[in-house]
Amino acid sequence: MESLTGLLFVSPMLIGVSVLTLMPIIATIVLCFADWNFVAGIHGLHWVGLKNFQTLAQDETFLKSMSNNGIFLLTVPIYMAISLLLAILINKHVYFKGFFKVAYFMPYISSVVAVATVWMVLFNPASGPVNQFLMSLGVANPPKWIADPAYALPSLMMVSVWISIGFNLIIYIAGLQSIPNDLYEAAAIDGASGWMRFRKITLPLLSPTSFFLLISGIIATFKVFDLIAVLTKGGPLKSTTMMVWYLYDTAFVNLKIGYASSMAMVLFLCVLAITLLQWIGQKKWVNY
C-alpha cells in the first residue's frame, strides 16, 4: 500500500518525464534510420538504414553548420574570462556591488527575443547607433554586421557574450566569496604579489566553478537557436546557420523528420564527446 501511495505521488513527474523526455529520445533514435514526412502519417515511414548519416557526411550546409558551431564555441572562454575579471573587480574594488550584479544579470534573465531585437536595431547598417558612432569617429565604411556574411557570425558571438556575462559573473562571485581570506593574508605576509595570489590561490580554488561554467557554456552554444531565429535566420549566405537551426529548418520547414533526427544524433554525440573529454581532462586542472 505504501509503495502504491508513493507511486501515485511521483506519477505526475514520471508521466511528464516519460512523455516529454524519454519518448522523444527514443523516437529520435528510431527515426534517424528512417525517411519520414509526418504529414504522410505512419504509413509514409520508410527504413533507410545508415543512408541519412551518409548523406549528412556530404551535406555542405550541415558541414558548414558544424564549422559555425565550432567557431561559436570561442564565445565560452571569452565571456568566462570577462566574467572572472568583472567578478574580481566587483567583489573587491567596487561600491554598490548589488547594483552591478543586477545590471550585468539583467540581459541573461531578459527575453532573448527582446534582447535580439534591441541588437538588431543597434546593428542596423544604415541608421544603427553602432555604425553612427563609428562614422562619427571617421570610419567611412563601417561593417554591415548581421547583413554581411563576413561579420554576421562575429556579431552573433558578441551578442551571446553580452548575454552570458551576467550568469557567469554571479557564479564566479559566489565562488570568490567561498575562498577563505586567511589564504590571501598568509600569502601577502609571505610577500606574494597580487598576480601570484591570483595564479596560486584564486584560479585553483575557482577551478571547480570554471569547470561547471565551461561544460554548461559549451552545451549552451550547441543549442543556440533563438538569436539566429530573430537576427539572421541562418543567413546571410548560411554564414550563421548552426546545427540546431538547420535541424529545425529540416524538420519543421522541409518536413524531413528522419534526416533531422540523424542530425540530432550527431549533435548529441558531439556534445557527449566534448563533455567526456572535458571530464577526463578536468582531473589535471580542477582542484576539489
User: Helix (H, G, I), strand (E, B), or coil: what is residue 99?
Assistant: helix
What's the half-sphere exposure (Cβ side, CA atoms, 13 Å) at 201? 21
Q: What are phi and psi of 270, to 5 degrees?
A: -65, -50
The mean predicted confidence, pLDDT, of the chain is: 89
Question: Residues 199-212: what's their mean pLDDT?
Answer: 91
DSSP for 102-137, please give it: HHHHHHHHS-HHHHHHHHHHHT-TTT-HHHHHHHHT
Instruction: Decide which of 3.20.20.140, 1.10.3720.10, 1.10.238.10, 3.10.110.10 is the CATH code for 73-241.
Output: 1.10.3720.10
- Using an 8 Å Cβ cutoff, are 171 and 209 in contact? yes
pLDDT tens-place string over residues 69-92: 999 999 999 999 999 999 998 888
Q: What's the pLDDT at 282?
A: 83
Domain locations in the chain?
A: 2-51, 73-241
Q: Tell me how far apart the alpha carbons of residues 91 and 98 are, in angstroms, rounded to a whole number.
A: 10
pLDDT over 80 (residue 287): no
Per-residue CA distances from 255 to 39, 55, 61, 247, 248 (Å): 8, 16, 17, 10, 9
What pLDDT is stored for residue 43 in this prediction? Answer: 79
Q: Does the pLDDT value for residue 260 go beyond 90?
A: yes
Given a cut of 80, whether residue 24 has pLDDT beyond it is: yes
The yes-or-no verdict on residue 2 having pLDDT over 80 is no
How does pLDDT run across 261-286, given as a tens digit for each residue? 999 999 999 999 988 988 888 888 88
Per-residue model confidence (pLDDT) at position 165: 94
Nearest to 83 by CA among 55, 107, 59, 63: 107
pLDDT of residue 281: 84
| The predicted structure's pLDDT at residue 94 | 76
pTM metric for this prediction: 0.88
Cβ atoms 122, 128 nearer than 8 A: yes
pLDDT value of position 285: 82
C-alpha 183/C-alpha 176 separation (Å) is 12
pLDDT at residue 93 above 80?
no
Q: Is the pLDDT of residue 57 over 80?
A: yes
Looking at residue 72, what is its pLDDT?
95
Distance CA 242, CA 109 (A): 23
Residues in the chain: 288
State the Rg of the chain over Cα. Answer: 24
**Cβ–Cβ < 8 Å for 271, 191:** no
Distance CA 187, CA 204 (A): 14
Q: How many helices (H) and strands (E) in the chain?
A: 15, 2
What mean pLDDT is predicted for residues 239-266? 92
Residue pLDDT, tens place only, 105-155: 999 988 888 899 999 999 988 888 999 999 988 888 888 999 999 999 999
